[in-house]
Chains A and B, each alone.
Chain A
């Protein structure tokens, strides 16, 4: 499983480096393209050697009975856990874009604490505290102009 991931990763790196090389070759001036070309080339070499080494290890593992193929596999619940939190972060970004920090932040904190099964009273209290902290520390003390949101701009 781990070897498969490595194979995909090295292949992706190789393809990306080739694309970058291709785009660099199309640049107007020599001084602007030389550096990306010089960096992309070692990526391709390294990715190829990584790919060869990973394939060799996979072949050895399969001739030895495939014992080493399993590796450490994350439980499905972990992947969905990561996806849920990352999605929440993304929703927080969308909320900031539309509604601004002052509204998005309490919504985010409320959503997260309810996702983690905190009681309503504790959630709302914690929401208020974080929003107050955000306003007090960043707006009043540090004088940062927090984004007001598309709706209120």
Chain B
């Protein structure tokens, strides 16, 4: 079985490589890189917002162009975000938050160019390690995926929802409630099995269900725009940015001098990235913490040392390799960005899950290859254009907000060309805003919305094939027990803390 898998994988890998021979492919990659860099350079606008905004325009693309486009955005975004973090003390994206702890002090000490060289090199190489690790793990994941049937898939989706509900946001209870409401939103429309209309309130518009794109844009982009206006864009002062080539090269060399720190940070980042729901911000702080604890000079962390830049930057791109494998193979998103990508896959007619490692293996390999190449190309471009990219952070919110709002509205309309989609956008925008203020997890709701149909389908298939006690099968039972551990972990931890206090 392994031999057959090896031949299949080699064939899929070769097919994935052939994509690089087309000019259209490279144009798409560079478009993704530009968008990723723009959003990475602008504090407050993350890869999540970028991915959400481009999702409505997927109808112009095929899966073979759309998914590499997304990978290019992600790779460029995380790499570019370190520039604002280091030079302006403002993280370009949330995963660069740990970088500024030592990155900006290095700039203050006159070593901004060295910090930048180290960050961008660590980022580019970290992403490469993440991809290599994912490629190594695929043969081991392959037989595991083939063993998954409907009951196991049902249990896995439940686990994914629980992980995202419990681990994102501040309250596990609120997270799980959000996930459940997401599942309820997904059932609006005609029931596939019985043909009964559910919660359509007699309207024709809702017969095919709540449209995904306006809901997605509303949940994530509208609250960001409201926050951008009220709190103001980040006012960043661009001082004289004297970046010497020698300093940048010195920083690049630092990554090789600290190769062991780089390697273990990248691997740890990959492992954390593969855990559903943990997210990038947690990953980089965990890695920063381990770098500090294992350092010979932990007291120097935070004062401006290059190790404090290398560790988080190695992890923030490496984690995408882990997140990709979990998201594609199991259909459980490794981070918030992957929640959006999974939704986009459904719009493209592709079901994430075992199919991504069997039927669509060339596509998975292509995504990994693009992640690898864009990490390297993105890092290289950022090194060349660092000071120019830093200036993008000073664009006023008065300019940004109207432009992004217009794009959001057009995006919400473009998918089905129905004016009521804009109403859905505004309703979900208000819902997203209220959820954000009340600490309910929008990611969990979105994931429930995306996976609700699949969950119901697997439920009926499982009951049909294995009876009502289908969750007692060994693998599905193990997954359910793991889910309970995840759900109860936080509650037990809080209880113990309260008793100690």
Contacts and interface: CB of A to CB of B under 8 A. Distances in A.
Interface residues on A, range: 35 or more
B173 A108 contact: no
User: Interface of chain A, helix or strand or loop or mixed?
Assistant: helix
Nearest to A34: B459
B409 A92 contact: yes
Interface stretch (B109-117, B188-196, B258-266, B470-478): B188-196
A86 B173 contact: no
Contact of A142 (B57, B425, B438): B57
A43 B165 CA distance: 13
A36 B193 contact: no
Contacts of B177: 13, 43, 46-47, 50
Contacts of B60: 142
Contacts of B456: 35
B422 A43 contact: no
Interface string B164-175: 000000010110
Name the residue in A24, A32, A145 with the highest tally of chain B Cβ atoms < 10 Å from its Cβ.
Answer: A32
Interface residues of B, number: 48
A152 interface: no
Interface in B438-469: 438, 440, 456, 459-460
B405 A92 contact: yes
B222 A89 contact: yes
A105 B422 CA distance: 14
Contacts of B399: 126
Nearest to B459: A35
B194 A134 contact: no
Interface string B387-411: 0000000000011011101100110
B76 to A, nearest CB: 20
Contacts of B95: none
A36 B184 contact: yes
A108 B406 contact: yes
A50 to B, nearest CB: 4
B442 to A, nearest CB: 14
Contacts of B30: none
Given A20-B184, A31-B193, A113 B398 contact: yes
Contacts of A146: 410, 413
B142 interface: no
B476 to A, nearest CB: 16
B184 A97 contact: no
B141 interface: no
Contacts of A145: 417
A40 B184 contact: yes
Name the residue in B57, B180, B440 with the highest tally of chain A Cβ atoms < 10 Å from its Cβ.
Answer: B180
Interface string A115-152: 01010000000100010011000100010111100000
B409 A36 contact: no
User: Interface of chain B, helix or strand or loop or mixed?
Assistant: helix
A89 B405 contact: yes
B496 to A, nearest CB: 16
A86 B230 contact: no
B230 A147 contact: no
A9 B459 contact: no
Contacts of A85: 225-226, 229-230
A36 B433 CA distance: 25
Contact of B184 (A6, A39, A81, A89): A39
A27 interface: yes
B272 interface: no
A105 B409 CA distance: 10
A105 B198 contact: no
B187 interface: yes
Interface in B143-186: 171, 173-174, 176-177, 180-181, 183-184
B409 A86 contact: no
A49 B433 contact: no
Interface string B350-386: 0000000000000000000000000000000000000
B34 interface: no
A92 B191 CA distance: 34
B414 interface: yes
Contacts of A86: 226, 429-430, 433
A39 B183 contact: yes
A10 to B, nearest CB: 8
A78 B433 CA distance: 13
A118 B194 CA distance: 57
B402 A50 contact: no
A93 B187 contact: no
B419 interface: yes
A50 B406 contact: no
Contacts of B305: none
Name the residue in A9, A40, A142 with the highest tally of chain B Cβ atoms < 10 Å from its Cβ.
Answer: A9
Given A31-B193, A82-B433, A147-B417, A89 B426 contact: yes
Question: Nearest 3 CB-CB pairs, A to B?
Answer: A81-B230, A32-B196, A50-B173
10 contacts: A27-B196, A47-B177, A50-B174, A82-B230, A85-B226, A86-B226, A93-B409, A96-B419, A108-B406, A138-B414
Interface of A: 5-6, 9, 13, 20, 23-24, 27-29, 31-32, 35-36, 39-40, 42-43, 46-47, 49-50, 53, 78, 81-82, 85-86, 89-90, 92-93, 96-97, 101, 105, 108-109, 112-113, 116, 118, 126, 130, 133-134, 138, 142, 144-147
